[in-house]
Amino acid sequence: MQHDKDSVWIDKWLAGDQQAFRQLVVNHKDMIYTISFNILKNQEEAEDVAQMVFVKAFQKIDTFKRTALFSTWLYRIAYNLSISELRKRKQRFTVVDGLNFEKLAQTLPDGDTDEIEKKEVEANLLLKAIDDLEADERGLISLYYIQDQSVEQISTITGLGQSNVKTKMFRIRKKLHAMLLTQKIH
C-alpha cells in the first residue's frame, strides 16, 4: 500500500535521509504533474508548479499531519498552487488529454444520444464541453475522473466540504449535459 510506503519514506526523510525525499518525489511526481497540467493546460507551467509543490513539501513537512494520506496533502498543495497560478494568468486553456470520457459520459444524465453513433464523436463533443468549463470545474473533473479521487479526498484537497463537492460535481455534470445537448442541436 502506497500509504505505508510513504510513511516509511517520510520517517527516513525526517531522520535525515535525503534519498527518502527523492523517492517520495519519484512516487508522486506524475500525479502532481497531471493535476497541475489538467488545471493549467500548459506543460511548462505544470512542470514549474510540480517543482514548486515538492519545494513547498520539503519546506513544510512539519505541517503534514498524518491523519490524511501524504498523497492527499501533496495533491492539495498542487491544486492550490495550480489555481493560484491560473488566477495570475486569467486565461482560458485547451482541454485535458487522457480524460476517462467513457466513465464521465456514463454519469451524465440520459438524453437523446441516438444521433451520435460513434464514441469518437461523443468524446470530441465532451472535450469541447469540458474545455468550456471554468478552471476550478475542470480541476474537480480531473481529480474525480482522472485521478480517481474520492469525494472525501477531493474535499481534503480543495478545502470544500464533502456535500459541496457532491453538489458541485452534480452541477458540473448537469452543465456538461446541457452543453452537449446544445452542441448536438447546432
pLDDT at 151: 93
Are 106 and 140 spatial neighbours (Cβ–Cβ below 8 Å)?
no
DSSP-derived secondary structure letter, 110: P
pLDDT at 113: 41
Are 101 and 118 spatial neighbours (Cβ–Cβ below 8 Å)?
no
pTM given for the model? 0.59
Are 139 and 83 spatial neighbours (Cβ–Cβ below 8 Å)?
yes
Give average pLDDT by consecutive 10-residue segment, the chain, 186 residues: 77 88 93 89 92 93 85 90 80 46 57 48 76 86 84 90 95 90 69
- Residue 71 and residue 32: Cα distance in Å, rounded? 9
pLDDT at 95: 42
Length of the chain in residues, anyone? 186
pLDDT at 115: 38
Q: Which domains does the chain have, with CATH numbers?
A: 2-89 (1.10.1740.10), 101-185 (1.10.10.10)
pLDDT at 28: 94
